[in-house]
Amino acid sequence: MTNGTTFATRALAENGHDDDHALSAKKEKEEEEEEEDSDDDDEKGGYNKTKHWNPTKRASRSFSTTSETEVEEGSSTRREPRRASKGALESIEGNVFRSRERLKSDKDFDRVKKTGRTLNYSCIRVKAAPNDGVPGATGCHRIGIVVPKKQLKRAVDRNLCKRRVRAIFRTNKDKWPKTESGSHLDFIVFVKQEALEGGFKQVEKEMFLFAHDYAEREMKSKASKSKNAAKIVRNNNNIKNNNKNHTHTNADAKTKGENDREVVR
């Protein structure tokens, strides 16, 4: 009985010793795997195998679409986005619609409504005025769009008409007219109910008509101003000539009167 108990106790002790060896071997293996994972993290730039961001490491590549510059701060490296200079203007080349091509303030709308030239068509009515020297103008055409609720009740229809006008404006920038002095225009497009029924093509046609008619009226206005200026010059010359003739007549009459008085004496 004693021998059997001793044998069982010895077997359990040997099994426990083997288990301890197995556990220690397993721990060593796990530690080696963790070291390999950390090495992989260094090579991958701060990402572990589960692709979670490791805040203790810096990514070796930037996922930002903006250009960045590196700034050295001691031993660490910090990346900062490169921003555009303050006074730079956005390019309006191509089929784009920039913020500076849009009429925004009530002051600009009121100025164009009061001083602008009006052209009326079946789908739209346009008022246009030069923006040369106007505060906020940056050397380009600017457009404002007005779709009254009285004309189009549904918001979806009003938005559709606005999108059409904007698309026509931004894809045909070379067609919009300038003044005779070369100034760009601020123009407001008032959309009528017929614009929804006429569709995109009809609105486009009438906006091109506006461009043609405005240029033609500018030429007529310039010719009329030249004619009026010439007329003013002629009138001034006639007045000068009349005054000169009147002066000569008075002088002749005075001379004649003196001669008559000498004869009487």
For residue range 53-89, list pLDDT tens digits in order: 555 555 444 444 444 444 444 444 555 555 555 567 8
Over range 30-59, report the average pLDDT: 52
According to the per-residue pLDDT averaged within each range, which of 18-22, 136-140, 164-168 is highest? Answer: 164-168
pLDDT tens-digit readout, 97-150: 999 999 999 999 999 999 999 999 999 999 999 998 899 888 899 999 999 999
Rounded to whole angstroms, the Cα distance separating 5 from 157 reads 97
- C-alpha separations of 108 from 11, 104, 113, 182, 188 in Å: 99, 7, 9, 20, 10
| C-beta pairs of 114-121 under 8 Å, 24+ apart in sequence | 116/186, 116/187, 116/188, 117/214, 117/217, 119/209, 119/210, 119/213, 119/214, 119/217, 121/206, 121/209, 121/210
Tokens read off for 183: 């100034």
Query: Where are the domains positioned within the chain?
Result: 99-225
Q: Per residue in 214-236, pLDDT tens? A: 999 888 887 776 666 666 776 77
Q: What is the mean pLDDT of residues 168-189?
A: 92
Q: Which residue has the higher pLDDT, 263 or 223?
A: 223
CA-closest candidate to residue 212, choices 167, 172, 162: 172
Tally of CB atoms within 10 A around 129: 20
User: Which fold would CATH assign to domain 99-225?
Assistant: Ribosomal Protein S5; domain 2 (3.30.230)
Q: Residue 70 in contact with residue 79, Cβ under 8 Å?
A: yes
How far is residue 32's CA from residue 14's CA, in Å, rounded to a whole number? 27
Q: What is the mean pLDDT of the chain?
A: 75
How many beta carbons lie within 10 A of that of residue 165, not counting itself? 22
pLDDT at 153: 94
pLDDT of residue 43: 46
- Name the pLDDT band for 239 (thresholds 50, 70, 90): confident
- CA dihedral for 230, 235, 241, 247, sign (positive or negative): negative
Residue 70 DSSP one-character state = E
Q: Give the model's pLDDT for residue 15.
A: 55
Which residues, 6+ apart, have CB-to-CB distance to 110 below 8 Å? Answer: none
